[in-house]
């Protein structure tokens, strides 16, 4: 079997096992979800546009969804507020953030800076397995985006997960765990701000061609072109999407 196909199938199996495990851990009423399970589930739902800007996050309602104590939900929401993914104010409780134009532009600039450096280092150090992983992640993302372009519904979470996997794989061979950890936080804050301002997944048809061009440049080891394409891709959404700011 071709090596890249083998790696692709392995990645699909890993993704399937991950989501099955997540669903079992979070939504199985006979197995109470841990605060960490709930934290990551809420974080994924947030960047998948499950909540709107300014929405109130009520511990009692979330407690019922996850089958846990209200104190566990408050612990999770406090942690998300420390990550700047949720706002907390005395007397008002927890709410999804409102997004300003300046905030979104600053977060996009920061994400582009970190991701471009990670991609440059990965192009320099990545091996054949990195190429195969990136190709597999792109194949899945293209399938999801093509389905959405044809009118598929309820793809919010799988789109967010697939796009994250592609961009995360792009920088995965950079050799710096610190950069990769920092990228996760920057990515999620920027992605959250974008979907809140867009009022949805922030998908646009140009993404398909742009992701393919980024893949081709990375596989060709053309760091300069990949850098330019990444920067343009991340900033183009600010120009083409209909965005609403606080």
pLDDT for position 246: 77
Q: Which residue has the higher pLDDT, 215 or 10?
A: 215
Establish if 6 belongs to a structural domain. Answer: no
Same domain flag for 225 and 120: yes
Domain-ending residue, one of 81, 98, 115? 98
| CB burial string 60-78: b at 16+ within 10 A, e below | eebbeebbbeeebbbbbbe
Rounded distance between C-alpha atoms, residue 104 and residue 101, angstroms: 5
User: Looking only at Cα atoms, what is the longest distance across the chain?
Assistant: 61
Q: How many CB atoms lie within 10 A of CB 200?
A: 13
What's the CATH code of the domain at 201?
A: 1.20.120.530
What's the domain range around 219?
Answer: 101-240
Q: How many CB atoms lie within 10 A of CB 83?
A: 15
Q: Which residue has the higher pLDDT, 44 or 30?
A: 44
Q: Is residue 211 within 8 Å of residue 145, measured between CB atoms?
A: yes
Same domain flag for 43 and 153: no
Same domain flag for 117 and 83: no
pLDDT for position 31: 59
Q: Is residue 98 within 8 Å of residue 54, measured between CB atoms?
A: yes
Rounded distance between C-alpha atoms, residue 72 and residue 77, angstroms: 9
pLDDT for position 33: 80
Confidence band (pLDDT; 50, 70, 90) for 90? confident
Same domain flag for 131 and 221: yes
Establish if 11 belongs to a structural domain. Answer: no
In this predicted structure, the answer to whether residue 232 has a pLDDT above a threshold of 80 is yes
Number of separate domains in the chain: 2
Q: Is residue 159 within 8 Å of residue 80, measured between CB atoms?
A: no
- Region 130-158 average pLDDT: 94
Q: Which DSSP string corresponds to 116-181? A: HHHHHHHHHH--HHHHHHHHHHHHHHHHHHHHHHTT--S-HHHHHHHHHHHHHHHHTTSS-HHHHH
In this predicted structure, the answer to whether residue 77 has a pLDDT above a threshold of 60 is yes
User: Which residues have CB under 8 Å from 86's CB, separation 6+?
Assistant: 46, 57, 77, 80, 94, 95, 96, 97
What's the chain's average pLDDT?
90
Same domain flag for 165 and 187: yes
Same domain flag for 108 and 204: yes
Domain-ending residue, one of 98, 132, 152? 98
Q: Is residue 129 within 8 Å of residue 171, measured between CB atoms?
A: no
Establish if 63 belongs to a structural domain. Answer: yes
Same domain flag for 161 and 233: yes
Same domain flag for 195 and 112: yes
């Amino acid at each position: 079997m071709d090596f890249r196909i083998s790696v692709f199938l392995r990645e699909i199996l890993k993704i399937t096992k991950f989501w099955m495990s997540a669903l079992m851990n979070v939504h199985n009423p006979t197995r109470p979800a841990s605060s960490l399970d709930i934290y990551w589930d809420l974080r994924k739902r947030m960047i998948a546009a499950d909540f709107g800007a300014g929405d109130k996050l009520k511990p009692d309602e979330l407690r019922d969804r996850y089958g846990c104590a209200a104190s566990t939900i408050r612990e999770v929401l406090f942690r998300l507020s420390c990550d700047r993914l949720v706002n907390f104010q005395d007397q008002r409780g927890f709410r999804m953030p409102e997004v300003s134009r300046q905030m979104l532009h600053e977060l996009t600039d920061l994400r582009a800076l970190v991701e471009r450096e990670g991609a440059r280092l990965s192009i320099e150090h990545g091996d054949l397995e990195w190429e195969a992983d990136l190709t597999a992640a792109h194949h899945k993302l293209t399938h999801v985006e093509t389905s959405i372009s044809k009118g598929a519904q309820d793809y919010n979470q799988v789109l967010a997960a697939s796009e994250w996997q592609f961009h995360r794989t792009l920088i995965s061979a950079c050799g710096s765990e610190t950069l990769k950890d920092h990228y996760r936080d920057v990515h999620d804050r920027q992605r959250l701000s974008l979907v809140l301002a867009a009022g949805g997944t922030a998908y646009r048809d140009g993404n398909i061609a742009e992701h393919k061009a980024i893949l081709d440049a990375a596989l060709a080891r053309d760091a300069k072109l990949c850098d330019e394409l990444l920067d343009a891709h991340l900033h183009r959404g600010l120009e083409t999407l209909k965005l609403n700011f606080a």
